Structure 1
């Protein structure tokens, strides 16, 4: 679990003595309840929310002018809960992670309570904290696991208890947020990853491998992306099960759809659906398994770049069919609603960065304009962005530079604003070049030596939406025996098989 820029962070234990029933005068109709994402979407108060959204029992009401939530409390409110500000209609799921954050200050030093609790009955709290306010606004944030369920009936509430002040006080709240199943609560770790299976098979009570502990803590416990393809005989059930686990935990899952016909141009990761109709049927099942719940989807690594004419991978008929399939996938994923974010693969910096065929006809790389046009034909209009560096080794700086340049070209040529995600799983030491061979170029496959784990999945920077471990570390790239660019010391595993030797090399950068 990761929290960012926290003043406070912990797993909350309900303090039932401080969870109190509201005075009858504070009963209000709740806003439409939400299950995922931002549960208090009006909490920045840039516009006055409806009167039924945030309620007040302070005696002076709630003032939204100036983009904050303000109220005043007199000395007649002798108990903390005699003067409250709150929001009803909060659906809490028992066992799920949530993050409450807000900015607050008062006209003079004051103690208040902040809670997330039931809005009726016993008023049990999942989070209940006493905090000290000063005259300068201060940020407060907690990530906690709910011990209560408020999905039925009147739901739960966010409540601020402001009473029991020795002198009159003015209170100002802003940027009130309660989230679940977002990056703030962390990325869901795949409990069935290849690394996890290997660790379980080599830990007690099974015969112990000395590498298991390190692989568990450095890789298996941080593997946050799951790949889906033709090996999933019932992809809808498999995706549904995975999303179920992630949403129950209140964390954000990342899925890779990898089943395009003619995948990998018949290379080490070749395969895919038997044809366009089979692919669309498979994609329908994949999407039905998500069912509109929070998810990041990385769509078909390499599929767009390998549709470029210069790649000599597909016939013209196959190219047109691929564009149609990718458009179909993007369109139908977009129809799932705001919680599903799709990032269509756009290759890596070596494939595109600096290669501009319109300026240099002899350059056989994919130009930025070419890639933008390929993405347009593949349905980038429906996607939330692109994925770069998938299963590759380029540094984050180089990948971000490519992402920025590609996004600018996409907007220039297609009129589409976009962002990107970077695969940081194995880019800790950047790209690999064969020692002594100045003409080798960057080798982005065949399990090259001297590579290292990169930044674990987190929110991105510099325009990137996220940094993600998309290629699961330790899973082999595979290799062709007749490819002289493959390091001879590379482990001999098929693409996708877990290699503990490769995993240790990535952990050590050796």
Structure 2
């Protein structure tokens, strides 16, 4: 049965109202608005609830087997032709924000080859389109996808699939119709204040500037937050800093990645030492950090090294339980921000020796790491991060991640995913690439490393990472201790020499 196309009484939001909506934060999943602003905007795009939320015009709809069929006649009941825009399938009441990125995608096939038009537009006069693309649909199912920047700001947006103008009766089948924003499909937010960009801005005449800008500054998609932001600076509010960063990403429809790095006793007094003064200060800091996100889309890597170093008795000096308590507290506070916030608790790397395993003679200590992660609250997160600030290849890191995930599931019943730091793993972490017996490179600014793949969603294949991310910002020094090459800058300081070496792989 054909459903009449719905027209909203108010398609265009007044400018003042639109500005207010653009800055509105989703406080938590439990308080999420009925009209989605971030994430998946299309309702019932897999048609598991029949034709609910979808309307049609001069097209008979049915939903069977988790797909939508639309039967389109070539002539009207009066015998006239059916124009392309006369017959359509669509969904209205969508929130679109001007300047934000969106991705429309769907699977489609038809009983005869046909070219249809897919749009995202206003659902009322003046029917402004912000996306209009032709799709050549064949008799075998094909996936279509477009990423675009919205030119309209409205609560009256619509998806339309225009199906008319065909020479004969045609049956279309659609599935997996999706309209997203602020997900990995729209891209990761680039930190505009990253150290590489700051260096390029100060040295525009340097012969390395253009190379560093294109290869690193324009691709640095992770921002680290720690005691340099607020703990020792009362004038700085960590909640406001996080809120501003996440808000800027949300306004663009891109996904931000943040690192929370303020655990007391950070880095066991090493090159990156510091952190909050005590557990109470840390909990206050992470409270503000989490509230700054305000339920908006974000990926958070939680406290690099903190879990693995909790197994070091000399470092902990009896403070293991206090650290576990802080990490659990942080995981819980981030979990309370809702499903748009994805937290990954750091789980070291594939060559971090924690002790023997029943099924692993290399001493990686999967059982011990699983125990530490469990104690640190990994069950309240989406999963764990591996290879942060390290150099192991994707293959080595995925092997570690998949075995650790299996151990968490088998021993503790915890389902988890993982992400891999790819910022400097283009040449892997072995002295001779691909040869484990050659030994592993040092942790501090080793030579011969190379940029890895830029931040992106994983392939979805079994045994692989959910995301590959530039977590360590390339070109930022690991430190200047005796274990580092002579002349290395202090930890976290950008070096154009280190940056260029990573670009060139030397």
2:99 to 95, 118, 121: 95
Q: What is the match of residue 215 of structure 1?
A: 212
Q: What is the match of residue 5 of structure 2?
A: 26
Q: What is the match of residue 230 of structure 1?
A: 227
CA distance in 2, matches of 1:396, 1:122: 50
Q: Secondary structure at the match of 2:409?
A: helix
1:424-478 deviations in Å (ceiling 9; x for gaps):
100111115499xx99953442211111111111112433101100000000000
1:137-171 deviations in Å (ceiling 9; x for gaps):
222111111101113xxx21101122232222211
Q: What is the match of residue 458 of structure 1?
A: 456
Rate the CA distance shift 1:243–1:265 in 2: closer, same or farther, 3 A.
same
Matching of residue 181 in structure 1 with residue 182 in structure 2: yes
Q: What is the match of residue 86 of structure 2?
A: 82
Q: What is the match of residue 312 of structure 1?
A: 314
Deviation for aligned residue 1:174 = 1.3
Q: What is the match of residue 422 of structure 1?
A: 420
CA distance in 2, matches of 1:391, 1:180: 29
1:286-316 deviations in Å (ceiling 9; x for gaps):
11110000100000000000000x4521122
Matching of residue 503 in structure 1 with residue 499 in structure 2: yes
Q: What is the match of residue 48 of structure 1?
A: 50
Deviation for aligned residue 1:349 = 0.6
Q: Secondary structure at the match of 2:466?
A: strand
CA distance in 1, matches of 2:267, 2:136: 58
TM-score, structure 1 normalization:
0.87
1:474-498 deviations in Å (ceiling 9; x for gaps):
00000322x4xx344xx42000000
Deviation for aligned residue 1:113 = 1.7
Rate the CA distance shift 1:254–1:59 in 2: closer, same or farther, 3 A.
closer
Deviation for aligned residue 1:29 = 8.4
Q: Secondary structure at the match of 1:131?
A: strand
User: Is the contact made by 1:199 and 1:212 (CA closer than 8 Å) also made in structure 2?
Assistant: yes
CA distance in 2, matches of 1:496, 1:432: 24
CA distance in 1, matches of 2:360, 2:430: 26
CA distance in 2, matches of 1:174, 1:439: 49
User: Is the contact made by 2:130 and 2:151 (CA closer than 8 Å) also made in structure 1?
Assistant: yes
Deviation for aligned residue 1:41 = 4.4
User: Is the contact made by 2:96 and 2:152 (CA closer than 8 Å) also made in structure 1?
Assistant: yes
CA distance in 2, matches of 1:311, 1:508: 40
CA distance in 2, matches of 1:49, 1:298: 39
User: Is the contact made by 2:59 and 2:89 (CA closer than 8 Å) also made in structure 1?
Assistant: no
Q: Secondary structure at the match of 2:179?
A: strand
Equivalences for 1:43-442 in 2 at 5 Å?
Answer: 43-50=45-52, 53-58=53-58, 60=60, 62-74=61-73, 75-76=75-76, 78-151=82-155, 155-203=156-204, 208-233=205-230, 234-308=237-311, 310-316=312-318, 318-352=319-353, 355-356=355-356, 367-431=365-429, 433=431, 442=440
1:243-291 deviations in Å (ceiling 9; x for gaps):
1111111111100000000000000000000011100110011111100
Rate the CA distance shift 1:439–1:32 in 2: closer, same or farther, 3 A.
closer
User: Is the contact made by 1:85 and 1:161 (CA closer than 8 Å) also made in structure 2?
Assistant: yes
Rate the CA distance shift 1:177–1:360 in 2: closer, same or farther, 3 A.
closer
TM-score, structure 2 normalization:
0.87
Rate the CA distance shift 1:131–1:412 in 2: closer, same or farther, 3 A.
closer
Number of residue pairs aligned between Structure 1 and Structure 2 = 466
Rate the CA distance shift 1:275–1:173 in 2: closer, same or farther, 3 A.
same
Deviation for aligned residue 1:132 = 2.9
CA distance in 2, matches of 1:418, 1:360: 20
Matching of residue 467 in structure 1 with residue 468 in structure 2: yes
Q: Give structure 1 regions of 4+ aligned residues with deviation exceeding 6 angstroms.
A: 28-31
CA distance in 2, matches of 1:68, 1:375: 41
CA distance in 1, matches of 2:166, 2:125: 27
CA distance in 2, matches of 1:441, 1:63: 61
Rate the CA distance shift 1:273–1:440 in 2: closer, same or farther, 3 A.
farther
Consecutive unaligned residues of structure 2, counting only runs of 5 or more, are 10-32, 231-236
User: Is the contact made by 1:32 and 1:89 (CA closer than 8 Å) also made in structure 2?
Assistant: no
27-36 or 329-338, which moves further after superposition? 27-36
CA distance in 2, matches of 1:499, 1:225: 17
Deviation for aligned residue 1:172 = 1.3
User: Is the contact made by 1:113 and 1:130 (CA closer than 8 Å) also made in structure 2?
Assistant: yes
CA distance in 2, matches of 1:284, 1:223: 26
Rate the CA distance shift 1:441–1:64 in 2: closer, same or farther, 3 A.
same
Deviation for aligned residue 1:202 = 0.7
Consecutive unaligned residues of structure 1, counting only runs of 5 or more, are 1-22
User: Is the contact made by 1:445 and 1:479 (CA closer than 8 Å) also made in structure 2?
Assistant: no
